Amino acid sequence: MAPDSNLESLEGLADHIASFTASCDDGKLIDSTPGIKPQHASISRKIFENATLLVAKLKEKVGEDSEPVVKVTVSYPEYNYAFTVSGDKLYGVKRANS
């Protein structure tokens, strides 16, 4: 299998700690840098799915058209996770907070 250029580009981000790619269908881990466990991928998929549903419901209540969620960020005091979807893959990156 050819290297995933999207995953490789995440490694070049400033303050990169770890990154991964997972299936959007089932959250199964496809590839990752050291420090990522399969549970990170499946939980990340669920977070992205829940955020998408929440945004759609909120916009429905206020009568706005729902645009697709393109990125979800979860922040902690020392680091953050950012998730995005491209095609049938979910990409995640863990970065130190500057």
Q: Summarize pLDDT for 29-45 with one digit per residue, the tens.
A: 999 999 999 999 999 99
Range of the domain at 59: 5-96
> pLDDT tens, 72-81?
999 999 999 9
Question: What CATH number corresponds to the domain at position 46?
Answer: 3.30.450.30
d(CA 15, CA 39): 22
As a whole number, mean pLDDT of residues 91-98 equals 93
> How many helices and strands in the chain, by DSSP H and E?
2, 5
Q: How many domains does the chain have?
A: 1
Each residue's pLDDT tens digit, 50-73: 988 888 887 777 676 666 778 899
Q: Rounded to an integer, what is the distance from CA 79 to the centroid of its chain?
A: 14
Assign 3-state DSSP to the chain and report helix, strand, coil percentages, each to 5.
35, 35, 35
What pLDDT does residue 56 have?
82
Please give the Cα distance from 51 to 26 (Å, whole number).
16
